[in-house]
């Protein structure tokens, strides 16, 4: 019989807990809104993963970027395990379309939007109409009150920085 070390047992417990979770979290990040320095705050995709993993197993992960995104930023998004989508139109229009695609495929029990922009409020409202659990992740300054009020789950990282 093989003896398992405490570190191996800890890893096995983490894996068991992840497999027991029923929720899958699909993540869509408003890159121009969140992935930039605001005041003294800079949010990283790893931070978003950490917060989202508290809600369930991570599913599809996207970062929406505008046409001004550099090749280095696109590569960093890919290296973080996200799929970059460069929107030729307004990022929020593309976000709405992507959310509806994910909802139609039914690949996430929870859809987490990373944004501070109130223009995402109708997207959250449409998801809730479809019975999909919603989460919003953002920080102040500029974290829309309407987003916080509409989402089922609000992750305000302002207080954690």
pLDDT given for residue 44 in this prediction = 87
Fold annotation for 23-160: Rossmann fold (3.40.50)
- Spatial neighbors of 92 by CB under 8 A, at least 6 apart, are 30, 117, 119, 120, 123
pLDDT given for residue 10 in this prediction = 54
Mean pLDDT of 129-138: 92
Report the alpha-carbon angle 47-60-132, nearest 5: 95
Q: How confident is the model at residue 15 (pLDDT cuts 50, 70, 90)?
A: low
Q: How confident is the model at residue 152 (pLDDT cuts 50, 70, 90)?
A: very high
What is the sign of the dihedral through the CA atoms of 51, 55, 60 and 62?
A: negative
| pLDDT at residue 119 is higher than 70 | yes
What percent of the chain has a predicted confidence (pLDDT) above 90?
58
Helix crossing, 121-129 with 91-105: angle to 10°? 20
> Rounded to an integer, what distance in angstroms lies between the CA atom of residue 48 and that of residue 155?
10
| pLDDT at residue 5 is higher than 60 | no
| pLDDT tens digits, one per residue of 90-102 | 899 999 999 989 9
Mean pLDDT of 82-90: 92
| pLDDT at residue 154 is higher than 90 | yes
Task: Please state the pTM of the whole predicted model.
Answer: 0.82
Q: Residue-wise over 74-88: b if at least 16 C-beta within 10 A, else e? A: bebbeeeebebbbbe
> Rounded to an integer, what distance in angstroms lies between the CA atom of residue 138 and that of residue 156?
5
| pLDDT at residue 22 is higher than 60 | yes
| pLDDT tens digits, one per residue of 25-79 | 999 999 988 887 766 767 889 989 999 999 999 999 999 999 999 999 999 999 9
What percent of the chain has a predicted confidence (pLDDT) above 70?
81
In the chain, domain spans: 23-160
């Amino acid at each position: 019989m093989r003896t398992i070390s405490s570190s191996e047992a800890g890893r096995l417990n983490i894996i068991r807990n992840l497999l027991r979770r029923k929720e899958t979290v699909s993540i869509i990040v408003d890159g121009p809104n969140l992935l930039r320095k605001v005041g003294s705050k800079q949010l990283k995709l790893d931070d978003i993963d950490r917060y989202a993993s508290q809600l369930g197993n991570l599913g599809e992960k996207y970062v929406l970027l505008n046409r001004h995104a550099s090749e280095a930023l696109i590569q960093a998004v890919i290296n973080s395990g996200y799929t970059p989508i460069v929107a030729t139109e307004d990022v929020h229009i593309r976000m709405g379309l992507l959310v509806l695609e994910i909802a139609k495929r039914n690949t996430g029990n929870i859809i987490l939007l990373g944004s501070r922009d109130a223009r995402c409020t109708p997207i959250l409202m449409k998801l809730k109409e479809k019975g999909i659990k919603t989460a919003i992740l953002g920080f102040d300054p500029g974290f829309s009150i309407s987003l916080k009020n509409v989402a089922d789950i609000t992750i305000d990282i302002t207080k954690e920085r």
